[in-house]
Structure 1
């Protein structure tokens, strides 16, 4: 009878094998993913707000998702909580937050005036965002790229594409403009297509990841500047987003020139 029952050693070994799949996960790995999921919720909420007609709040939700997207990676690096799972989750959330949600908000707000043409522009925007994120994931595994290229994005990054692509809405609500006429909606659709092209292209853009520490002697000026920027965004949100968008568009030629200079200097 004793041969029919497993001994205590085999029972202990089987229990250990079962427990391996339920190992506790450190909080430093969970926190960045929680931030990413909150950003994902904001993207979904932007779609709901657009359906309900609250376009300004939908834009605010997308802008909030962009802020959280900039934080989750920094939190992961600071806590040494980076993981392949987190990178994949972040990419999927970015596609919804900065591809699907902005395209839907743009179509509901303005582009629906030109019907199918506006819908094509929205579709191209979402597809370009997906292509941009897929290429970014592939380039992460490239060990041969020089270190200086980490200061640049290849193609407009997805969060920037979403913020810049929503410029027609900022102009409309920030300056109390009426609903666009069909001719204006065609121009807006062409603008959205141009931003989609920048996302899918290989045009270099400056990367905020290269921003380092603030010198101690400039700390007070930096804090005052940040406080002033936050106040402007709070009091004049749409006008501030117009200024941010235009400043970003102006920086693109400088990024191209700097990228070419560094590329020529690389052996």
Structure 2
């Protein structure tokens, strides 16, 4: 008589366990001076990055459907969401290398590809080869800008951006589309001007011109009461004509870099030290006092481009 084998009391094997192991994100991180392997990703900051990515993709889809106002607004929404993911990660102590890479790829779509596609679908396609060349210059500038920013993290003065930040460049392009798309401008010179603006935004992103990062502002310290009134007034002005005011705001920021660079070259503005941190000074442990004696925090007193 055949005996029945004893029942297996082991829990059933998860059929997806191997899939989970193969697709899990594993990072090597330093914790208390020790290198450990961390599995998984942080959900909260990556949700903001995903939302920003979705807004950038929606801008492309809206532009292809001829809804240029919605496309431009989506780019601005992506800017707001992109500003939250990093801050949320720092506030909740959920920074990760995966989040940095994901954010950079999302920025490439939202602030690199999307503005170029929106501008091309709106008006650049009407000027032939000049249009797609201008759009490509912008896309290439955004890619190079993001790559340079990633490798320069920690080696530059946080008070300055080297080149026009990609969100600001995207805001200039989106602001032009949002402001002028309803005018139905047919003049060839206007179309060429828009191509020049798009290409110029791409070139500014890869330039060595410095832009204020405003990271030195302390929002925790008391400020005069008039500062709050100025902020309220700014919100009121933007709400009256958001397209025009945002274009003026980011257009002025984009022009501020070249204007200040020219003023510093002509001696009408005070030269500033190079924003790059000298690697030799960092290795030798030179103090801030010693750096002040040399007159600069880097090898050169001034940046050649400014």
Task: Give the TM-score normalised by the residue count of structure 2.
Answer: 0.70
Q: Does 1:242 align with 2:250?
A: no
Higher relative contact order (CA 8 A, sep 6+): 1
**1:56-115 deviations in whole A, cap 9, x for unaligned?**
111000001111112211111122211111100010000000000000000111111112
Deviation at residue 233 of structure 1 after TM alignment:
3.0
Matched, 1:266 2:296: yes
Aligned residue number for residue 191 of structure 2: 185
Q: Give me the whole-angstrom Cα distance separating, in 2, the residues matched to 1:238 and 1:262.
A: 36
Match of 1:154 in 2: 162
When residues 224 and 153 of structure 1 are mapped into structure 2, their CA distance, relative to the original with a 3 A threshold, is: same
Within 2, Cα distance between the matches of 1:79 and 1:259?
39
Q: Select which of 185, 209, 212 maps to 2:215.
A: 209
Question: Structure 1 253/115 Cα, relative in aligned 2: closer, same or farther at 3 Å?
Answer: closer
- Change beyond 3 A, Cα 1:127–1:30: same
Q: CA deviation at 1:222?
A: 4.1
Task: Report matched runs for 1:1-267 at 5 Å.
Answer: 29-140=42-153, 145=155, 149-173=157-181, 177-218=183-224, 220-253=225-258, 256=261, 257=264, 260-263=271-274, 265-266=295-296
8 Å contact 1:206–1:255 — kept in the other structure? no
**Does the 8 Å contact 2:124/2:195 carry over to 1?**
yes
CA distance in 2 between partners of 1:184 and 1:62 (Å): 23
Deviations 1:17-74, CA, capped at 9 Å, x for gaps: x8xx698868xx3211110110000000001111111111110000011111122111
2-structure distance, mates of 1:54, 1:96: 18
Structure 1 residue 237, shift from structure 2 partner: 1.5
More helix by share: 1
Q: For residue 161 of structure 2, give the secondary structure of its aligned residue in structure 1.
A: strand
**CA contact 1:204–1:259 (8 Å) conserved in 2:** no
Note the alpha carbon deviations across 1:136-163, whole angstroms, 9 max, x for none: 11112x5xx36xx111111111101111
Structure of greater Rg: 2
5+ residue gaps, structure 2:
1-9, 11-16, 26-37, 275-293, 298-306
Deviation at 1:214, TM superposition (A): 4.8
Provide the TM-score with structure 1 as the length reference: 0.79
Count of residue pairs brought into register by the alignment:
240
